[in-house]
Structure 1
Amino acid sequence: MSKFSPLNWPVVRQLRAADAFARDVNTQTGKSRELEGRIDSADRMVKSVCPYCAVGCSQRVYVKDERVIQVEGDPDSPISRGRLCPKGSASEQLINSATRLTKIKYRAPYATEWTELDTDTAMEMITDRFLASRKAKWQEVDESGRPLRRTMGVAGLGGATLDNEENYLIKKLFTATGAIQVENQARI
């Protein structure tokens, strides 16, 4: 049969083979027979949780050569049953983005350039500023002498990319340090 013969068209092959729903090999082309799934070449699959909101949708993360190649919903999850929202489906782009920052950046007051900091230096700066602000605005008692033991110099804002457990721990941390202004992005 000639390559361009009408008998070689997929729809004709489908009808001749009584394949009414086009699910047989008669509708495949040579190119489509050679295609492979994105996850076929993965070295391993790692189960994870979507980083975007507190729902906790389960993900299957496929890794090849220590690089994430695909992220899909986990059908074994009782929460998401294999489904992901558009942001969760795009998690692979979050991980592999060329614009993703992997180092701590700091811009000093009035500076025009960002500088890189090591983790220890950044943590020391944050701790020093947190404690100084807490101390500067500390309120031990009110005008009537009633105990307050709080600070108005520190506030906390949790994000929707944190899970419930992380938000719980942040709330406990800020409350323990005397902060009373603790909010979450989901309530704003």
Structure 2
Amino acid sequence: MGVRTWIDSWPVYRQLKGTDPLGRGAAAKSARSARLTPRTASADRVVKSVCPYCAVGCGQNVYVEGGRVTQIEGDPDSPVSRGRLCPKGSASLQLTTGDAREHYVLHRRPYGTEWQRLDLDRAMDMIADRVIEARRAGWQWEVDRARTRRTLGFASLGGATLDNEENYLIKKLFTALGAIQIENQARI
């Protein structure tokens, strides 16, 4: 590499002599960074979503390639976040593809001291059985001779990341099951 070639490749020289005097574009690029392509360039489609971490509801663009999530970024069209994400939202790709993601449920039996792994289907069956039993054991047809048709055997406490549609469905489900203690953490 000659001296002239070396000087021409020097970012400060390119910044002063080129069309990028503030050093925000071409002057700041190295040859290697000029060859790089964005992680989102190979995506088949972009799916609009909402960040799952808090009640703010920042918009996200989820980039999907071959049926697999490859990148998650802030949605510039979102009136809430205008394309910005906090550190938690920026790391939400790990929810779908991270090595630490669990694909099973940990369960500790009553009075047990050890956790055991259960597959999701088994865990869902256990939850359904317990809801049915709690409903059966705590069902009240009437209270003080007033018809109630309810149960105090279980309750629902929703999280702050649930959107309106999810809250609506949860309210409908628990009301149909006879529960009257239905609340959302976002209002507490």
TM-score bracket, shorter-length normalisation:
0.7 to 0.9
| Equivalent residues of 2:159, 2:184 under 8 A apart | yes
What SS does structure 2 have at the residue aligned with 1:136? helix
* Distance change >3 Å, CA 147–CA 37, structure 1 → 2: same
Partner residue, 2:116: 114
The offset of 1:158, in angstroms, is: 1.0
Partner residue, 2:170: 170
1:27-106 equivalent positions in 2, closer than 5 A = 27-40=28-41, 42-52=42-52, 53=54, 56-64=57-65, 66-106=67-107
| Equivalent residues of 2:76, 2:83 under 8 A apart | yes
The offset of 1:36, in angstroms, is: 2.7
| Equivalent residues of 1:150, 1:179 under 8 A apart | yes
Measure the CA separation in 2 of the matches of 1:30 and 1:16: 17
Measure the CA separation in 2 of the matches of 1:125 and 1:167: 23
Partner residue, 2:183: 183
Q: Which string of whole-angstrom CA distances, capped at 9 and with x for unpartnered residues, describes residues 125-170 of structure 1?
A: 2222112212222222223x22222211111111123221111111
Measure the CA separation in 2 of the matches of 1:167 and 1:75: 26
With normalisation by structure 2, the TM-score equals: 0.79
Measure the CA separation in 2 of the matches of 1:142 and 1:151: 11
| Equivalent residues of 1:62, 1:70 under 8 A apart | yes
What SS does structure 2 have at the residue aligned with 1:153? coil
Measure the CA separation in 2 of the matches of 1:26 and 1:83: 26
* Distance change >3 Å, CA 23–CA 177, structure 1 → 2: closer
Measure the CA separation in 2 of the matches of 1:10 and 1:51: 38
The offset of 1:25, in angstroms, is: 3.6
* Distance change >3 Å, CA 134–CA 96, structure 1 → 2: same
| Equivalent residues of 2:49, 2:62 under 8 A apart | no
Q: Which string of whole-angstrom CA distances, capped at 9 and with x for unpartnered residues, describes residues 77-107 of structure 1?
A: 4554433343322211211221211234433
| Equivalent residues of 2:135, 2:154 under 8 A apart | yes
* RMSD of aligned alpha carbons: 2.9
| Equivalent residues of 2:62, 2:73 under 8 A apart | yes
Segments of 5+ residues of structure 2 without an aligned counterpart are: none
Measure the CA separation in 2 of the matches of 1:7 and 1:20: 15
* Distance change >3 Å, CA 155–CA 24, structure 1 → 2: closer
Segments of 5+ residues of structure 1 without an aligned counterpart are: none
What SS does structure 1 have at the residue aligned with 2:181? strand
| Equivalent residues of 1:46, 1:62 under 8 A apart | yes
What SS does structure 1 have at the residue aligned with 2:157? strand
